[in-house]
Chain A
């Protein structure tokens, strides 16, 4: 019985962690202030 409770705790923790991380998700970011280029950029460093 105690083993079952331990397994259930482990499973619940895994579910909670994954659901939280996916609910938060990755940040959207912002639109870059850089323009659409109409000149040829120099060599990339």
Chain B
């Protein structure tokens, strides 16, 4: 009976000990992925900000500029691309909608971002774009990979349509969470006009060509990233845009189109931190809690199986040994 129990325990011990590395190194890379149908909104504010008044073409200090960023997973498109790419793909349709203090639109820039659901590596497929222009992204955007490393990453900048390193600057604590801090500076670069601007009757795509006025941009972007999920829990940008030269400025060299320190709205920071904390536990279950738990439990069961086996085999315990005990000499 004891023998049978030790064999059952041994089977369970091997099951659990084998499950531990399989879960961490086989199941986790395949199960951890961004859901294709994710929908997420984010509100960022620059308070105060400098904003160009297009009617007078003069920069004015305003109380607040709001940026509403929506990410929407397009499941039908991702399934279509998955068939040819042969891997799990996520298609995010996003819109960065900038609103002035009067509630009117300042700009609206749509994007389509296609990436590998597990690694966040970009996937190049038809439809990948920024503001209607075809782009070929390198590196990441919006989110870091699961189990983020302490190193620089290539980060795609939608305004310049190029990728540049975003530098790892060390560990920080944000709202009680241990996070990695990343920073990227885009130097002054000539960029395209957004196709949707508050200039009725003017074709933004021909503005530079018709007026000779160019649009320039620089930014310093900062992210506080949870290294387990790779999700940013906070983001800020010190953002500046200028119009330079040409007939639009009436002889002036340059005018500020937008300047401000853009930060996430407080209620969105709270909800993001809460969401990331929940997702973090799910990832840690697969990478740490379950593998270590199974390993310890498996080890204990193995020890118990050995103990039962040893007790079963101890001389003197069995009836067979008692009957075969030799008798003393000379009796």
The interface of chain A, by Cβ under 8 A from chain B, is: 2-3, 6-7, 9-11, 13-15, 17-18, 21-22, 25-26, 28-32, 34-41, 43-44
Q: Name the residue among A22, A30, A39, A43 with the largest chain B CB count within 10 angstroms.
A: A22
By the criterion CB–CB under 8 Å, are B37 and A37 in contact? no
The distance from the CB of B157 to the nearest CB of chain A, in whole angstroms, is 20
Contacting residue for B37 out of A6, A18, A32, CB 8 A: A32
State the interface size on chain B (CB cutoff 8 A).
Answer: 47
Distance A7 CA – B43 CA, assembled complex (angstroms): 55
Q: Does B292 contact A (CB under 8 A)?
A: no
Contacts between chains A and B (CB distance < 8 A), count? 109
Q: Name the residue among B36, B38, B108, B268 with the largest chain A CB count within 10 angstroms.
A: B36
Q: Does B122 contact A (CB under 8 A)?
A: no
| Residues of chain B contacted by A29 (CB below 8 angstroms) | 35-38, 73, 75
By the criterion CB–CB under 8 Å, are A38 and B22 in contact? no
Distance A18 CA – B19 CA, assembled complex (angstroms): 8
Q: Does B174 contact A (CB under 8 A)?
A: no
| Residues of chain A contacted by B271 (CB below 8 angstroms) | 44
Contacting residue for B27 out of A22, A37, A39, CB 8 A: A22
| Residues of chain A contacted by B37 (CB below 8 angstroms) | 28-32
Contacting residue for A3 out of B10, B66, B93, B108, CB 8 A: B10
The distance from the CB of A26 to the nearest CB of chain B, in whole angstroms, is 6
Distance A41 CA – B233 CA, assembled complex (angstroms): 19
Interface of A is mostly: loop
| Residues of chain B contacted by A37 (CB below 8 angstroms) | 41, 68, 70, 95, 97
By the criterion CB–CB under 8 Å, are B41 and A7 in contact? no
By the criterion CB–CB under 8 Å, are A26 and B35 in contact? yes
Q: Name the residue among B73, B93, B105 with the largest chain A CB count within 10 angstroms.
A: B73
The distance from the CB of A29 to the nearest CB of chain B, in whole angstroms, is 3
Contacting residue for A11 out of B14, B105, B268, CB 8 A: B14
| Residues of chain A contacted by B43 (CB below 8 angstroms) | 40-41
The 8 A-B pairs of least Cβ separation, nearest first, read: A29-B37, A10-B14, A32-B39, A14-B18, A10-B15, A36-B95, A10-B11, A44-B267
| Residues of chain B contacted by A7 (CB below 8 angstroms) | 10-11, 14
Q: Name the residue among B7, B18, B97, B271 with the largest chain A CB count within 10 angstroms.
A: B18
Q: Does B188 contact A (CB under 8 A)?
A: no
Q: Does B263 contact A (CB under 8 A)?
A: no
Q: Which residue of B is nearest A8, CB measured?
A: B14
Q: Which residue of A is nearest B268, CB measured?
A: A44
Q: List 21 A-B contacts (CB under 8 A).
A: A6-B10, A9-B14, A10-B13, A13-B11, A14-B22, A18-B19, A21-B31, A28-B75, A28-B78, A29-B35, A31-B73, A31-B75, A32-B39, A34-B39, A35-B70, A36-B93, A37-B97, A38-B68, A38-B108, A39-B99, A41-B41
Distance A36 CA – B8 CA, assembled complex (angstroms): 56
By the criterion CB–CB under 8 Å, are B267 and A22 in contact? no
- A25-B30 CB under 8 A given contacts A7-B11, A17-B19, A37-B68: yes
- Extra inter-chain contacts (16) besides given A18-B23, A37-B41, A38-B97, CB under 8 Å: A6-B11, A7-B11, A13-B11, A18-B22, A25-B31, A26-B31, A26-B33, A28-B75, A31-B74, A36-B94, A37-B70, A38-B95, A40-B66, A41-B43, A44-B268, A44-B270
